Amino acid sequence: MTKSVPTEKQNQILKAAADAFLENGYQNTSMDHIAARAGVAKQTLYNYFGNKDTLFVAVAGQMCECEDAFMASAAVVGQDVEKVLQIYAQRKLADLSSTENSAVFRMMIAEALRFPSLGRMFFEAGMEKDRQLLVTFLQRQDAAGNLQVDDAEQAALFFQGALNAYFRPKYIMTGENSASEAIQKHIDYCIQKFLLLYRPASTR
């Protein structure tokens, strides 16, 4: 499938396929089921996507096409640092309380061995893009004098690692969603300790 804008029919198929894959997983989803769900002939699926593997990759690619416009904006430098970190952290952990986002994450993990390129695509479009946005934000805050960051790359890894150290592995391993209050308490603590490290001493 090319990177041209999908047609209405393609979007119809992609939506039906995404719903089917999320509900049933890759192995238990047939092209017959997707065709019926999309309201098209099975041959139409093959005309557009060739086979189930190609369709699954197209679905995953569409799911990964996300951009954090707030963090990507240059105007974010003028915002309160703690407020920005709160918004960033809450968005990064939002999938732990969202059934759909959690299902996407678990599906990508489950199918990463079958489709190695998907695992890389999901990583680069998700955590890696988030990390780069955070690196840029920290560099801009350092230049503005709002933070003193000796190594923005390591600082971003440190903050991301702290956010994801407990609640995400717990969900992946147990399937249990944590209380939003517990997640927020963890976010607040991570930000507090992060700012103790990187805020200029005169503003602490």
Q: Are residues 170 and 194 in the same domain?
A: yes
pLDDT over threshold 80, residue 142: yes
Q: Are residues 39 and 91 in the same domain?
A: no
Q: Are residues 152 and 167 in the same domain?
A: yes
Determine, yes or no, domain membership for 106: no
- Per-residue pLDDT reduced to its tens digit, 162-178: 998 898 888 777 878 78
Determine, yes or no, domain membership for 180: yes
More confident residue, 70 or 194: 194
pLDDT over threshold 80, residue 153: yes
More confident residue, 99 or 90: 90
Percent of the chain scored above 70 by pLDDT?
91
Q: Are residues 86 and 157 in the same domain?
A: yes
Residue 150: CATH number of its domain = 1.10.357.10
Residue-by-residue DSSP string for the chain: --SSPPPHHHHHHHHHHHHHHHHHTTTT--HHHHHHHHTS-HHHHHHHHSSHHHHHHHHHHHHH----HHHH-GGGGGS-HHHHHHHHHHHHTGGGS-HHHHHHHHHHHHHTTT-HHHHHHHHIIIIIHHHHHHHHHHHHHHHHTS---S-HHHHHHHHHHHHHSSHHHHHHHH-PPPPHHHHHHHHHHHHHHHHHHHS-GGG-
User: 3-state secondary structure string, 60-120?
Assistant: HHHHHCCCCHHHHCHHHHHCCHHHHHHHHHHHHCHHHCCHHHHHHHHHHHHHCCCCHHHHH
Q: Given this model, what pLDDT does residue 4 score?
A: 54
Q: Are residues 135 and 86 in the same domain?
A: yes
Q: Are residues 199 and 185 in the same domain?
A: yes
- Per-residue pLDDT reduced to its tens digit, 111-132: 888 888 877 877 887 778 889 9
Q: Are residues 145 and 74 in the same domain?
A: yes
More confident residue, 188 or 26: 188
More confident residue, 44 or 7: 44
Average pLDDT for the chain: 86
Q: Are residues 25 and 88 in the same domain?
A: no
Q: Given this model, what pLDDT does residue 150 score?
A: 95
Q: Are residues 45 and 17 in the same domain?
A: yes
- Per-residue pLDDT reduced to its tens digit, 19-78: 999 888 888 899 999 999 999 999 999 999 999 988 988 888 777 666 677 888 878 888
CB neighbours of 29 closer than 8 A, spacing ≥ 6? 17, 20, 21, 23, 52
Q: Given this model, what pLDDT does residue 3 score?
A: 46
Q: Are residues 129 and 54 in the same domain?
A: no
Number of domains in the chain: 2
Nearest CA to 121 among 112, 110, 134, 130?
112
pLDDT over threshold 50, residue 2: no
Determine, yes or no, domain membership for 109: no
Residue 34: CATH number of its domain = 1.10.10.60
Q: Given this model, what pLDDT does residue 59 score?
A: 86
Prediction pTM value: 0.75
Determine, yes or no, domain membership for 1: no
Q: Alpha-carbon distance 167 to 172, whole Å?
A: 9
Q: Which domain range does residue 30 map to?
A: 8-63
Q: Are residues 72 and 168 in the same domain?
A: yes
Q: Are residues 144 and 178 in the same domain?
A: yes
